[in-house]
Structure 1
């Protein structure tokens, strides 16, 4: 059974710049730059029949033209028990519309609603036993950068192997945005 999710790929030049934020943080398991992505909708473990339905349903995605995204700063999920360091993506109307369209389409094929609020980001590290003070120091030192912009002209369905997370991710299907 494949574990699937939809997302956006990060261009190599942007991934390289983000990879420079790696290192020097106790308890961090850094994501490899080739696995950086923006998750649009987690699908989960599905059988081949459901995977085929997902691929077909996503053909009907919102009529969204290519758009630009901006990575603006570093952030943390988990508050006083930090669990992930990420690069924040500024939400845009086309991005939000694309994600909402996928949510509706995937519910129509029988998937449960994703109960989490959509916060566009690129996970840089998964954290375990990282102190908030160490994390604050890391962000103070590595967190400042000029906003980075990139163009989005497609979304993809990724698969991942059964693991703790962080890849490797494989593109199973790609969907160009309306030109």
Structure 2
């Protein structure tokens, strides 16, 4: 069964900027720069028939390219941090694309996404023994970087290995955003 999700690819030059923020946080498992992405909708482990139905259905999305802005670092998990992320400014076109994906995937029988969409790029996954103070110290030192903007001209259907951390991610199908 493939493990699938939809997302935006991060351009190599922005990935390089983000990769320079790696290190300095004990207990962090850093994501490889070639696996940086912005998840639009996690689909999960599904059978091949459903995967093919989803891949075919995503061609129906007709959206224009739009700008995506990455701005600063943050973390998920509060007092028990579980990830260091690059924050993505939630723009109207990004939110609308994600909402349309959500609607289409529910039509093929997937359960609604349980979490609120918070656009981000995961840079590191954190083990349970990483303290919130360690994360706060890391963010204080490395948490600022100049806003980086790129134009999203397509979204993709990714597959992932069933493992901790997921990568490497494989583009199964691209879906162009049309002007």
TM-score range with shorter-chain normalisation? over 0.9
Normalized against structure 2, the TM-score is what? Answer: 0.98
Write the distance in 1 (CA, Å) between the matches of 2:88 and 2:109: 29
Q: Which residue of 1 aligns with 2:89?
A: 90
Q: How does 1:1-179 map to 2 (within 5 A)?
A: 1-61=1-61, 63-128=62-127, 129-179=129-179
Q: How many residues align?
A: 178
Unaligned runs of 5+ in 2: none
Runs of 4+ in structure 1 displaced over 2 angstroms? none
Q: CA RMSD for the aligned pairs?
A: 0.7
TM normalised by structure 1 equals 0.98
Deviations 1:51-85 (A, max 9, x none): 01101121112x32101111011011000000000
Report if the CA contact (8 A) 1:30-1:124 is conserved.
Answer: yes
Q: Distance in 1 between matches of 2:87 and 2:79?
A: 19
What per-residue deviation string (whole Å, max 9, x for no partner) do you get for residues 12-69 of structure 1?
00000000110010110000000000000000011110001101121112x3210111
Counterpart contact for 1:31–1:166, Cα < 8 Å: no
